Amino acid sequence: MGLFKQLFKDAQHGSENVIESFRPGEMFPHHDRQPKSNVVFLSLTCQDCIEVITAIQKASTAEHNKEKINLVLYIVATVEEVKELDTYYNSSFTIYAITKKELVEKYKVPSTPYCYHTDQNHQVISTTEFDDVNSFMKMITAFDF
């Protein structure tokens, strides 16, 4: 079956590959103990994500945000690419390299950019999809720590 026919078939009948994210109250598979966190998922192949990546350093180091924002980034990228980003950000927050498979299967992320808001016990408080730098900035500063 051709690609377009398959796309139209999926659109008409609903795709079987719908990814259901973690719901509030469910445990998030976090790597380390953190206080409440904005756990942000990005991909280096996503244009909106690239724009957010360039804005993150400014957001995380702004004087009025230092106590309020706790970011943990999971980026679909190679370990080398993440090391470069970590150097660029001067380790102001935690960055993990993940695969596309982990993004979907382990972290249940339906699309990037995406954010889980978690508490200190790794329970999901809420989720947020965002599609530009402005909505990202509003999201990370609105979450009450």
pLDDT tens per residue, range 50-82: 988 888 877 666 544 555 568 889 999 999 999
% of the chain beyond a pLDDT of 90: 32
55 assigned to some structural domain:
yes
The residue range of the domain holding 94 is: 41-113+124-145
Q: How far apart are CA 61 and CA 90, in angstroms?
A: 11
State yes or no: pLDDT of 116 exceeds 60.
yes
27 assigned to some structural domain:
no
State yes or no: pLDDT of 29 exceeds 60.
yes
Distances from the Cα of 26 to the Cα of 23, 73, 117, 118, angstroms: 6, 19, 11, 10
**pLDDT value, residue 145:** 52
Q: What is the pTM of this model?
A: 0.79
Total domains in the chain come to: 1
6 assigned to some structural domain:
no
Q: How far apart are CA 84 and CA 80, in angstroms?
A: 6
DSSP lists the bridge partners of residue 128 as: 115
30 assigned to some structural domain:
no
20 assigned to some structural domain:
no
21 assigned to some structural domain:
no
91 assigned to some structural domain:
yes
User: Can you give 89-101 as a three-state secondary structure string?
Assistant: HCCCCEEEEECHH
SS3 assignment, position 47? helix
1 assigned to some structural domain:
no
Cross-sheet strand order for the sheet of 94-98: 94-98, 71-76, 37-43, 114-118, 124-129
